[in-house]
Structure formats: structure tokens, C-alpha cells
Structure 1
């Protein structure tokens, strides 16, 4: 089982297709339900429509993240791969949780999602020790864009900057050190 945030377009959609072709049951975690459905049904000849399940997820809402994780845990015992891919570019908007929209969606939301899914990732590590997915169980992949290169020079902190993903990886690595999970950051 693989969860991919922001999987209705671009890198997320291509990643979903690739994992589905490898035999994974892919959960498309998309903020906009209709866009997720459109992506899923875009081309019936593509594998992703046949091996995927759409689950709404808004990373700008802690309530949505918790609801997503609760729903996932009710349906599935384990998670092999979590791909944190979703990202937005927004300036100045504030979430219902009181954080800057871009920072919460691109960093804090993914951190909370990952933290809440660690038990499922650990279950995969134990469940798949002796089958074809054993080398891919308990994998966390954080993707980031290059948009931080285009931030105005007077911005002190840019939430899309790769250091956020690095910090997230370090935090996840510290929490799971010795437990068998692998965390990767790709820019």
C-alpha cells in the first residue's frame, strides 16, 4: 500500500502510476476531491485508475489530516510507502489552525501526516519481512520543488525551501532511528 499526497497531477500522478504498475494499491491523497476523481478516471488504460483509491486530504487543515489518518487506519493495517509530494505556493493566507498557509501545507501538514502514519509504516516493516515488498516497507519519501530558487531575495524564510524537507527528514529519522523506517528527501 502506498499513499501519495498531491497525486492528481504532475510528479504525484506519475509516481502513483509507477507504483500501481509495480503492484501497489495506491491511495491518491488529494485536497480537491473532483480533481482527484478526474485524475483517476483521466485515462482508463492507465494502471492508476484500476489500482487506486481516492481519499480527500487537505494538508492546510489539521482536522483533515487527522480524519484522513483515522480513515486509513480503519481500512488498512499497514503502509509500505508514504510519498509527501503535495505543495502549494501561497503568500500571506492563514489556515484555520493559525499558521501561514504555505508553511502548513508544505511542511507542518506533511510532518503531522507522517507522524500519525508511523504506526502503519512500522506495521508494514513487520508484515512484509518475508515477501517481495520487504525492501520497500516503511519508506517515507519527501519531495520538494525548486521554487525556493525563485523566492524574492528579501524573504528571510521560504516554506518551499529544501531545508524544510531536510529538517522534516531529520526529525522523522530521530523519531524512528533503529525501528527500520527509511526516510528520503528528494528535490
Structure 2
């Protein structure tokens, strides 16, 4: 397995290293993505593909009276996120679980926000996964997608060759899948200089 496969599903020592690199490398993108939403401090949040857990930390800072759940299908990511957020887990403000976005292990309408930072590239079928996100969101809930690649930069295609199963989407492709999955109000934000994209969809 080449090292970059760990961006899709961190495993072993290389995976641990990758989660730490993700936490640092995605910080500016995440900060920008969070700036596009307003957050209720009492919210129940699910961060899908939580990686190294840095975005859970940010969510916890914004939802002081709420609860944040991290989910990842990589055991390494779950362990690293649990380690980083150990204090909040002990306080009952957070939990991190192993799970698959195509069959999210939670009942209907339990979360106010679902976030997906740098992860939808690897999801197995956008429409099905977006339908699952819609299912676990409460009515009026928010789905935040944040990608470092907006599908318009040819240079990004090298990653799809390096990482098996990775697909970079344009905003139009993401919006179409969100509509099919039942999302109504969809706003798109773009950082043209960096080719970043953020989409905020409401159930």
C-alpha cells in the first residue's frame, strides 16, 4: 500500500502519521468551512470521516452545551480521534465510533449538524451516502461539506491516480446528488485561489 492510501483509510503506523498530518494540513480549510455556518451551542453534531479528530475539537468549542460524535471507518482514525478528545469523552460531551457512511449506525433525525471535511471523495456512491446523512439529520438540520479540491484544477487529478477509489467532484455534481437525496436549500462557497469548495445543505 502506498503511503497516500492512508488518506482514504488510515492503517498502521503510516495511518497514525497521516491522521496527524491531516489535523495540521487541513486546519485552514476547516477554519474557512466553519466560517460559512452559524452554530447553535446546544447542537448535536456528527462529524463523518473524522480522521485525526481536529474538527471534533473545533465542534466542541462551538457547541459548549451540546454533544459531538465523530465517526470513521478506520480503526486508526477512531483511536487517534479518541486520544485527542479524551477529556471531552470523559465528560460525556463527545464519543467517537467506527462506522460506514453508507449505513450510518444511528437512528433517524438525531443530529442538528453533520460535517464532512475532505472525505466525500472516498464515499461509496454519493446519493446513497447523502441520503443516509439526510436520514440522521433533524428537519432544518445542516450538512456541511468542505473539500480542498473543487474539481476544476487539473493538477488535483494526480491524487486520483495515487489513491485508489478517490473521486473529485465539482460543485454541480455535489449539488445534484444532494438534491436527489432530499436536501432543499443548498448554498455553495468557493475559494477560487486555492480551488476550495464548501457546500451548506439544509434538510
TM range (shorter): 0.5 to 0.7
Alignment match, 1:130: none
Query: Counterparts of 1:32-111 in structure 2 under 5 Å?
Result: 32-42=74-84, 44=86, 47=88, 50=91, 51-59=93-101, 62=102, 65-66=103-104, 68=105, 72-73=106-107, 78-85=110-117, 87=119, 102=122, 104=124, 107-111=126-130
Report the Cα offset of residue 39 of structure 1.
Answer: 1.9
Q: Scaled by the length of structure 1, what TM-score is found?
A: 0.55
The alpha-carbon distance between structure 1 residues 52 and 109, as it changes in their structure 2 partners (threshold 3 A), is farther
The whole-number CA distance in structure 1 between the counterparts of 2:78 and 2:127 is 22
2:149 corresponds in structure 1 to 146
| Alpha carbons 2:73, 2:100 under 8 Å: kept | yes
- The structure richer in helix per residue is 1
> Could you tell me whether the CA contact under 8 Å between 1:144 and 1:162 is conserved in 2?
no
TM-score by length of 2: 0.52
Give the length in aligned residue pairs: 134
| Richer in strand (by share) | 2
Q: Distance in 2 between matches of 1:43 and 1:82?
A: 18
**How far did 1:185 drift?**
4.9
Q: Which residue number in structure 1 is paired with residue 176 of structure 2? A: 167
Query: Shift of residue 141 of structure 1?
Result: 1.1
Tell me, in whole angstroms, the C-alpha distance in 2 between the residues paired with 1:112 and 1:8.
22
Distance 2:46 2:143 in 1: 10
SS for the counterpart of 2:54 is helix
1:115 aligns with 2:134: yes
